[in-house]
Amino acid sequence: MTQAPTPELARQMANAIRILAVDAVEKAKSGHPGAPMGMADIAEVLWNRHLRHSPSNPHWLNRDRFVLSNGHGSMLIYALLHLTGYDLPMSELENFRKLHSKTAGHPEVGITPGVETTTGPLGQGISNAVGMALAEKLLAQEFNPNNGNDALNIIDHFTYAFLGDGCLMEGISHEACSLAGTLRLSKLIAFWDDNGISIDGHVEGWFTDDTPKRFESYGWNVIKHVDGHDSAAIDKAIQSARAQGMHADGKPTLICCKTVIGQGSPNKAGTHDVHGAALGAAEVAATREALGWHEAPFVIPAPIAQAWDARARGVNHEKEWQVRMSAYRSQFPDKAAELERRMKGELSSTYAAGLPAVFESVCAKADSIATRKASQNALDLLAPLLPEFFGGSADLTGSNLTNFKGCKIAKRDQWGNHMSYGVREFGMAAIMNGIVLHGGYMPYGGTFLTFSDYSRNAIRMSALMKQRVIHVMTHDSIGLGEDGPTHQSVEHVPSLRLIPGLDVWRPADGLETAVAWACGVERHDGPSLLALSRQNLPRLLDKADDAEKVRKGGYILSDMEGAKAVIIGTGSETMLAMQAQANLAAAGIPTRVVSMPCTNVFDRQTDAYQNMVLPLSLPTVAVEAAHPDFWRKYVGRTGMVIGIATFGESAPAPDLYKHFGITTDRIEAAVKSLVHRDSHKHALPFPDHVVPSTN
Ligand SMILES: Cc1ncc(C[n+]2csc(CCOP(=O)(O)OP(=O)(O)O)c2C)c(N)n1
């Protein structure tokens, strides 16, 4: 803990945040001054007196993490980063919300040094913070000596989060915070900005929870009634919260801070007017007057700037840790190297060396298996090469098959590399984002594909943040059968393919599944999603070398001399494409089958490769037990798609495939129709005898 400034200096330091927020929002003519003004005093106490970070090295691995879950208050964190000495010059604050500035409307990781996660979708920041605190706890269990010699504890930092009423109203905060209580993430300290205001006004009409009781029931340590404008009270609360982090059985802490939104604005404080709009010139002037701030916009008086500058302190924090790390390295050289590798997100040489044998082993098995089982087989083989794996499932471990041989179950007081997240799909996805952002583990988590809708915004966030998370989504179509339309995905795979930066794999057999895993693991710039079948599928590839073809996302699986048409199959329908090819060949129509396990990866191949696999001159039919529209970009307006444009039904899977016309007969009829059209310049009527179809 750093020496407290005098009350007057503390007040001025907080006012520096207020004025920077007011001026930046005023200049941008948009933004949210209310939260930064209301939380400025809390921010001064936390950042100036407690936060252990190093502005000159934002990536120092044992730094405390800070998450602004109420990301609309972005000027709060930009002001803090600038003032404490991060590489965020004042010119960036002047360019708040401008194209290519480092000060986007909401904080974005990878754009602004010191921003740990992208926040803005309310409730997800606190959930990311839970993931970060979980990663810290797991790493401490795995790497600290835990032999009573605390001097060698190289992982021991806190995760702090600011959140508003909005985050607490969002359901995901329940999912994540409830789990944080169960897991006793005692180094997680959250500050509730209890200002009673959200966009529509005073929250009494829509938010009357007893938040302290709610968090107590989760098993949190709750510090109530803290005056969020009283530095001494805030300081005391933080000290008491930090004490929990030192306890063997400590709890996460919620500090409930009563604040006034827009504190400092004489006419707008305490109203929702100040939540998300510029104050206006007259009120800016009145605020300056009220705060006794006489500087021009974007000018900080030297004594206040000096008081805020945390660079020297940060270097000292880091040095002190380096001493520990050196002692640790000399005692545990392998573990030190392993930790550093994992924090960088690099793969080990063991992985590269072992991967060919994984593919060999997968190809050696001829039996038909579901791709969810093929995924588990791949995990069994990959996990020994990837100690950074941290798997889990939202209460469907036995269905998603995310656990692997020898995995250890992570629990409150037990390190593990597989976790039951409970029925919390959205929470799980956001927690995984926090884990990967923290570093040290490679998270993957499972649920049914249909419930990707629950987690979708967190999947989107992993893509936006370019983070390596692997989403394991089983029961990927009507092929799951009797559970019926509530559980059967129709539009999910096509719509997930549209999330920029997300690679959606829908593998067709064992090798394709193993390659999908490898590609997800090897990606450094984004998430992957594996859509896996419940039902058994035959082996299509039996040579490990074929892995290279699969890595292209789409490839020629089976070709015939003089092919007159292309059939694109994906996932469980690739085998239908293969059967149709054989039947068509018997009828004298040679075709090519293209397997397309990942359209996103295929789209990144060269034009030459794409045109080689899918020649523009050949009529093309695509088949997928999903909404058909997505395939238009590959088959064109003149091709045909065999898909399902309605919800499914409850029945055994084979009956459903027949009912919806996802059949070889229909593929064959489509190919014949197109081939006939090409030779006679008009198409045969497409036999549309099956229930729903867009063709
Ligand atoms: C998931 C999500 N829904 C809606 C919004 C739009 N939004 C931004 S701030 C806000 C109100 C938040 O209220 P509160 O947390 O109390 O913030 P304060 O008014 O105190 O700044 C809303 C609805 C959002 N950012 N994220």
Give tens-digit pLDDT for 650-677: 999 999 999 999 999 999 999 999 999 8
Q: Encoding tokens for residue 491?
A: 């539009």
Neighbour tally for 297: CB within 10 Å: 16
Q: Which of 659, 550, 535 is nearest to 598 (CA)?
A: 550
Q: Is the CB of 597 within 6 Å of ligand 1? A: no
Q: Encoding tokens for residue 416?
A: 């593990």
Instruction: Give the per-residue pLDDT at 679.
Output: 84
Expressed in angstroms and rounded, the spacing between residue 192 Cα and the centre of ligand 1 is 13
pLDDT level of residue 246 (50, 70, 90 thresholds)? confident
Instruction: Give the per-residue pLDDT at 689.
Output: 47
**Amino acid residing at 38:** G
Q: Which of 498, 514, 516 is nearest to 506 (CA)?
A: 516
Compute the average pLDDT of residues 374-382: 98
Q: How far apart are CA 43 and CA 293, in angstroms?
A: 19
Q: Is the CB of 668 within 6 Å of ligand 1? A: no
Hey, which residues does 67 pair with through a beta bridge? 161
198, 272, 461, best to mutate for ligand 1 pocket (most atoms within 8 Å of CB): 198
Expressed in angstroms and rounded, the spacing between residue 424 Cα and the centre of ligand 1 is 22
pLDDT 10s digits, 313-339: 999 999 999 999 999 999 999 999 999
Counting beta carbons within 10 angstroms of the beta carbon of residue 414, is it exposed (0 to 12), middle (13 to 18) or buried (19 or more)?
Answer: exposed
Q: Which of 337, 313, 315 is nearest to 325 (CA)?
A: 337
Q: Is the CB of 206 within 6 Å of ligand 1? A: no
CA-to-CA dists, residue 60 to 53, 149, 188, 433, 440, angstroms: 8, 22, 19, 19, 13
Q: Is the pLDDT of residue 252 over 80?
A: yes
174, 199, 261, best to mutate for ligand 1 pocket (most atoms within 8 Å of CB): 199
Expressed in angstroms and rounded, the spacing between residue 172 Cα and the centre of ligand 1 is 14
Q: What is the set of active-site residues?
A: 425
Q: Is the CB of 70 within 6 Å of ligand 1? A: yes
Ligand 1 atom closest to Cα of residue 34 = 21
Instruction: Give the per-residue pLDDT at 686.
Output: 56
Expressed in angstroms and rounded, the spacing between residue 120 Cα and the centre of ligand 1 is 8
Compute the average pLDDT of residues 234-252: 94
Q: Is the CB of 31 within 6 Å of ligand 1? A: no
Q: Is the pLDDT of residue 694 over 50?
A: no
Expressed in angstroms and rounded, the spacing between residue 95 Cα and the centre of ligand 1 is 23
267 alpha carbon, distance to own chain's centre: 40
Hey, which residues does 642 pair with through a beta bridge? 623
Contact 38, 263 (CB under 8 A): yes
Ligand 1 atom closest to Cα of residue 195 = 20
Q: How far apart are CA 29 and CA 347, in angstroms?
A: 45
Instruction: Give the per-residue pLDDT at 321.
Output: 97
Average pLDDT, the chain: 96
Q: Percent of the chain at pLDDT above 90?
A: 95
Contact 456, 504 (CB under 8 A): no
Expressed in angstroms and rounded, the spacing between residue 483 Cα and the centre of ligand 1 is 37
Q: Is the pLDDT of residue 1 over 80?
A: no
Q: Is the CB of 270 within 6 Å of ligand 1? A: no
Q: Is the CB of 199 within 6 Å of ligand 1? A: yes
pLDDT level of residue 248 (50, 70, 90 thresholds)? confident
Q: How far apart are CA 227 and CA 229, in angstroms?
A: 5
**DSSP per residue, 494-535:** HHHTTSTT-EEE---SHHHHHHHHHHHHH-SS--EEEEE-SS
Ligand 1 atom closest to Cα of residue 261 = 20
Compute the average pLDDT of residues 622-647: 96
Q: How far apart are CA 489 and CA 479, in angstroms?
A: 9
Contact 474, 492 (CB under 8 A): no
Q: Is the CB of 261 within 6 Å of ligand 1? A: yes
Helices 7-28 and 34-45: crossing angle in degrees, nearest 10, is: 150
pLDDT 10s digits, 607-633: 999 999 999 999 999 999 999 999 999
Ligand 1 atom closest to Cα of residue 193 = 20
Q: Is the CB of 40 within 6 Å of ligand 1? A: no
Instruction: Give the per-residue pLDDT at 680.
Output: 79
pLDDT 10s digits, 488-517: 999 999 999 999 999 999 999 999 999 999
Q: Is the CB of 125 within 6 Å of ligand 1? A: no
Instruction: Give the per-residue pLDDT at 377.
Output: 98
Q: Is the CB of 64 within 6 Å of ligand 1? A: no
Expressed in angstroms and rounded, the spacing between residue 269 Cα and the centre of ligand 1 is 17
Contact 79, 36 (CB under 8 A): yes
Contacts of 316 (CB under 8 A, 6+ apart): none
Q: How far apart are CA 495 and CA 480, in angstroms?
A: 19
Q: Is the CB of 460 within 6 Å of ligand 1? A: no
Q: Is the pLDDT of residue 683 over 80?
A: no
Hey, which residues does 472 pair with through a beta bridge? 446, 530
Q: Is the CB of 228 within 6 Å of ligand 1? A: no
Q: Is the pLDDT of residue 684 over 70?
A: no
Long-range contacts of 97-100 (CB under 8 A, 24+ apart): 97/28, 97/30, 97/31, 98/28
Q: How far apart are CA 594 and CA 554, in angstroms?
A: 7
Per the listing, tokens 């921010």 go with 43
Compute the average pLDDT of residues 388-393: 98
37, 67, 70, 457, best to mutate for ligand 1 pocket (most atoms within 8 Å of CB): 70
Neighbour tally for 91: CB within 10 Å: 12
Expressed in angstroms and rounded, the spacing between residue 280 Cα and the centre of ligand 1 is 21
Per-residue DSSP letter, 414: B
Compute the average pLDDT of residues 135-163: 95
**DSSP per residue, 304-370:** HHHHH--HHHHHHHHHHHHHHHHHHHHH-HHHHHHHHHHHHTPPPHHHHHHHHHHHHHHHT--S-EE
Q: Is the CB of 124 within 6 Å of ligand 1? A: no
Expressed in angstroms and rounded, the spacing between residue 637 Cα and the centre of ligand 1 is 43
pLDDT 10s digits, 522-576: 999 999 999 999 999 999 999 999 999 999 999 999 999 999 999 999 999 999 9
108, 122, 455, best to mutate for ligand 1 pocket (most atoms within 8 Å of CB): 122
pLDDT 10s digits, 39-57: 999 999 999 999 999 999 9
Q: Encoding tokens for residue 587?
A: 């009828």
Expressed in angstroms and rounded, the spacing between residue 271 Cα and the centre of ligand 1 is 14
Ligand 1 atom closest to Cα of residue 170 = 1
Q: How far apart are CA 603 and CA 598, in angstroms?
A: 9
Instruction: Give the per-residue pLDDT at 693.
Output: 46
